Amino acid sequence: MTISEAIQSFPGLSDVSEDYLTKVLTDRSVTGTASYTLDVKADAELCAADLYMAIVASPDFSEGKFSLKYPRGYLLSMARSLYENNGEAANASKVAIGKSTALKKWW
């Protein structure tokens, strides 16, 4: 299994475009065609976390009766966990999961 294949095996990442996967791999100086081993596990997980963050920022899609919504809370918690488990506490602290509150009443 290659590093790219390992990343795409994460839940929700199988449909990520090859171009964007290549961009994330390049940004992290990871060779996607290299064999996936325990030595590169952290790199693969950090790339997956970056992809989760990108998906969260993507808009929902709908056309006719078809719609695609992303489980943003799940994706954010996965990204935070992957960042924390691989020594990137600074990135993990940037991942905000919570409810928004209205500044004033609407009625």
- Is 100 part of a structural domain of the chain? no
Contact present, 36 and 42 (Cβ < 8 Å): no
Number of domains the chain contains: 1
pLDDT of res. 75: 86
CA distances from 57 to 40, 52, 66, 87 (A): 26, 9, 20, 23
- Is 60 part of a structural domain of the chain? yes
Query: Which parts of the chain register pLDDT below 50?
Result: 102
- Is 97 part of a structural domain of the chain? no
- Is 27 part of a structural domain of the chain? yes
The helix, strand and coil proportions of the chain, stated in percent and rounded to the nearest 5, come to: 50, 5, 40
Alpha helices for 1-107 (secondary structure H): 3-8, 18-27, 41-56, 72-85, 89-94
The pTM (predicted TM-score) of the whole model is: 0.79
